[in-house]
Copies of this chain bind each other. A is one copy, B any other.
Amino acid sequence: MDLLEPTRYAFYLLFTGDPALWRIIFTSLYCSLAAIALIAPPAVALGFLIAIVSFPGRRALVVFSQALLSFPTVVVGLVIYMLLSRQGPLGFLKLLFTPEAIIIGYMVIAFPVLVVFTLSAVQGADPRVHETARSLGARRLRAAWTTLFEVRFGVMAAVVNSFGRVVSEVGCAIMVGGNIAGLTRNIPTAIALETSKGEFAQGIALGFVLIVLALGVNVALSVPQGEGGMK
């Protein structure tokens, strides 16, 4: 099977500004970036808290959050579908089969990922970071910020990972988005469609497009990540 031709064609469409392809790309980026931007602050904060506050059941909570990483995204999609369905409790919002529904799903999927990896990064930080900040007069919030900044490599890895998860998942996006052309079709659901048509090469070409986009996003995200964390 020839991969070169479809890939070249996909990039050709990309650069000639094929509106259908760009619409798909836009939906992918818009939904995943919006979801991460919305959910990262609370999730990172929670991961930080679990890492530094010790309370009974903390260890169990950590293991449970880790287990949530195994939750299939399509099940997240199913649950959100049932909530957003016209008959569901949130049906009145009319969010089903819209990009916003996908964003909600992505937020749910990204949440445990961000919590677990922020936790892991903060856990690995030198406890003196937080103490030094506090001792120099930083209030709780500011000290937390300083600590997160010291482990920025790990926190950005968490963000990058959650982005990777949502931007490449298909189960939830197809379930709550409906894979509607021109509205909720994004790169993975488009790949699913190509695959279901037997157009495997096209699917792989779209995968390459996604990787190039992800590379761009990661380069952008790696600027704040910096060399600071590198020893």
| Residue in B117, B169, B175, B229 whose beta carbon sits within 8 Å of that of A157 in the complex | B117
Q: How far is the CA of A191 from the CA of B161 in the complex (A)?
A: 24
CB distance A168 to B70 under 8 Å? Answer: yes
* A192 contacts the other chain (CB 8 A): yes
* A163 contacts the other chain (CB 8 A): yes
* A133 contacts the other chain (CB 8 A): no
Q: What's the number of copies of this chain in the assembled complex?
A: 2
The size of the chain A interface, using a CB distance under 8 A, is 69
Q: Of all chain B residues, which has the CB nearest A216?
A: B67
CB distance B188 to A63 under 8 Å? Answer: no
CB distance A154 to B124 under 8 Å? Answer: yes
Query: Secondary structure of the A side of the interface?
Result: helix
| Pairs A–B under 8 Å by Cβ, sample size 29 | A62-B222, A63-B222, A64-B215, A66-B157, A66-B164, A66-B222, A67-B214, A67-B215, A67-B218, A69-B161, A69-B165, A69-B168, A70-B168, A70-B213, A70-B218, A71-B211, A72-B187, A72-B207, A72-B210, A73-B168, A74-B191, A75-B203, A75-B210, A79-B204, A116-B157, A117-B117, A123-B231, A124-B125, A170-B170
